[in-house]
Amino acid sequence: MARLVYFGYGFMPAFYSTGRSGARMPYRLIIGDKNLSSWSLRAWLLLRQFELPFELVTIQLDQPDTQARILAHSPAGRVPILQTQEQTVWESLAIMEFIAERHPDLPVWPRDTALRTRARVLAAEMHAGFADMRRELSFNCQPQVPLPALSTAAKADVARIADIWREARQSQLENSESPPGDYLFGPFSAADAMFAPVAVRFDRYSVPLDNICRSYVETLLQLPAMAAWLADAGAA
């Protein structure tokens, strides 16, 4: 029987449940429903892309008990939340840094120092910004959502994101020393996980994009993990 240990924000089993292989799961990821929670997608996709096994706990959003259920795990009252036996980590960007520190063998961030700094800048810009675009193009995995008339501020957010993607992809394509790959910095990194929900939005709302940005959106949406997320959201 699992031993219960206090971790600061509630009791949890000292050892998480076993996965299909019978191996202990090192991580528990608590997320919101897949059709609604764009921040959850970021952390979930990172773990999936780097093949880190985790136990998934889903808390349905917009329910009378949603806040109480989230607060049982994190004082911030937001998902995603990552738990290990020792620690609880909330805030999607902090989760990514935590994973990068615990798995230095994995290229969570680009290996090259300059690219790594750039990737962190863009991930932070995503984490902190684009509130107008996020509000007006609310996260929705269902295909073919009508594109609403956007405010000037939301249009500026869309344009800035397109600039980010275009510049990163162009510099990737033009620099023969860049690591190969179709993502912002070559191979998939935490920066791509941060922008993946925007790719879903731009695709679902049919936001007009140039070829480079469209191709980046398709690259992200074609990931098997993304297809799995969208299928679970009832939007395959």
Ligand X SMILES: N[C@@H](CCC(=O)N[C@@H](CS)C(=O)NCC(=O)O)C(=O)O
Binding site for ligand X (CB under 6 A): 32, 37-40, 61, 66-67, 78-80, 91-92, 127
DSSP the chain: -PPEEE-SSSEEESSPPB-TTSPBPSEEEEEE-TTT-HHHHHHHHHHHHTT--EEEEEE-SSSTTHHHHHHTT-TT--S-EEE-SS-EEESHHHHHHHHHHH-TTS-SS-SSHHHHHHHHHHHHHHHH--HHHHHHT----SS-PPPPPPPHHHHHHHHHHHHHHHHHHHHHHH-TTSPP-SBTTBS--HHHHHHHHHHHHHHHTT----HHHHHHHHHHHTSHHHHHHHHHTT--
Nearest to ligand X of 19, 129 (CB atom)? 129
Q: How far is the CB of 174 from ligand X (least distance, A)?
A: 32
Nearest to ligand X of 79, 213 (CB atom)? 79
Q: How many residues does this entry show for the chain?
A: 236
Q: How far is the CB of 35 from ligand X (least distance, A)?
A: 11
Nearest to ligand X of 95, 213 (CB atom)? 95
Nearest to ligand X of 38, 49 (CB atom)? 38
Q: How far is the CB of 91 from ligand X (least distance, A)?
A: 5
Nearest to ligand X of 91, 192 (CB atom)? 91
Q: How far is the CB of 176 from ligand X (least distance, A)?
A: 35
Q: How far is the CB of 192 from ligand X (least distance, A)?
A: 16
Nearest to ligand X of 119, 209 (CB atom)? 119
Region at 56 (left for phi over 0; alpha for psi -120 to 50; beta for the rest): beta
**CA-CA distance, 217 to 195, in Å (whole number)?**
9
Q: How far is the CB of 36 from ligand X (least distance, A)?
A: 7
